[in-house]
Structure 1
Amino acid sequence: MFDNTHAHITTWVVAIILFFVAVGLHNAGKKKGMKVVHMILRLFYLLIILTGALLFWKHQGINPALYGIKGLVGIWVIGMFEMILVRMNKGKSTNVLWIVMVIALLIVLYLGLRLPLGLHPFA
């Protein structure tokens, strides 16, 4: 089942979409809808971590150090998603968190595409 990355990519693509839907609902003032989407997004955090861990354990012999770094940066991205949404709900500034999230997201996408299980657009 985890010979390829389809399940993992699907979960993080859906999570990114849900994150921006939650941000849009917050900006539109729909707190209840944002809360529902935020809870669904938290389920997808778990699915991302689960599918990533299964891929890591199955293919850890390929390049365990870089895949480990990718996993940590992926968890960093999830943390930034959560911190941005929680701080938005509290009415606090999120400018720095957005910058950190974009940097972490670019790093994790680069590593994910560059490593052996990726699509290799940079090779």
Structure 2
Amino acid sequence: MFNALLHTHSGSWAIMVILFLITYFTKSQKITPMLQRLFYLIMIVTGVWMLSILHFPLTYVLKGVLAIVLIGVMEMLVARKRKGSPMPAMWIVLIILLAVIVMMGYGVISF
């Protein structure tokens, strides 16, 4: 069961990032932001489920909190793009958060 959750979780991360890039760099669409939010939910549900199986280790709880912050940053970037006021600093935050979260997920960063 855990392996199925892990593959679903990591796959939803990859699809979520691709959908974010499509949503950000294409003209106004309705379907890709909805799909992106669906994969947010899939990622959160599978992540919490795996946390409960592992009995909430601190490293992965922190990863989950950072992932929720990353989702907020993605949503802010898309909203700012639609309003016509992009924020380059938010891209830096997005890249750093994404790199840290992926490294924590694969065990490169641990404490």
Q: Give, in whole Å, the separation in 1 of the partners of 2:24 and 2:87.
A: 12
1:58 pairs, out of 48, 53, 58, with 53
Shift, 1:110, TM fit: 0.9
Q: Give, in whole Å, the separation in 2 of the partners of 1:110 and 1:16.
A: 15
Query: Can you list the C-alpha shifts for 1:13-57, whole angstroms capped at 9, x where unaligned?
Result: 1101101111221xxxx31x2x32111101111111001000111
For 1:47, the equivalent position in structure 2 comes to 42
8 Å contact kept, 1:74–1:108 = yes
Q: Give, in whole Å, the separation in 2 of the partners of 1:54 and 1:47.
A: 11
For 2:62, the equivalent position in structure 1 comes to 69
**Which stretches of structure 1, 4 residues or longer, exceed 6 Å deviation after superposition?**
none
Is 1:36 the counterpart of 2:37? The answer is: no
Q: Give, in whole Å, the separation in 1 of the partners of 2:3 and 2:18.
A: 25
Paired residue secondary structure (1:92): coil
Paired residue secondary structure (1:96): helix
TM-score, length of structure 2 as denominator length: 0.89
For 2:89, the equivalent position in structure 1 comes to 96
Paired residue secondary structure (2:2): coil
Identity among equivalent pairs (%) = 35
Superposed, 1:101-120 pairs within 5 Å as 101-114=94-107
Which amino acid in 2 is paired with 1:19? F
Q: Name stretches of at least 5 consecutive residues in structure 1 with no aligned partner.
A: 115-119
Q: Name stretches of at least 5 consecutive residues in structure 2 with no aligned partner.
A: none
Which amino acid in 2 is paired with 1:112? G
Superposed, 1:1-20 pairs within 5 Å as 1-3=1-3, 5-20=6-21
Shift, 1:59, TM fit: 1.0
Q: Give, in whole Å, the separation in 2 of the partners of 1:47 and 1:84.
A: 21
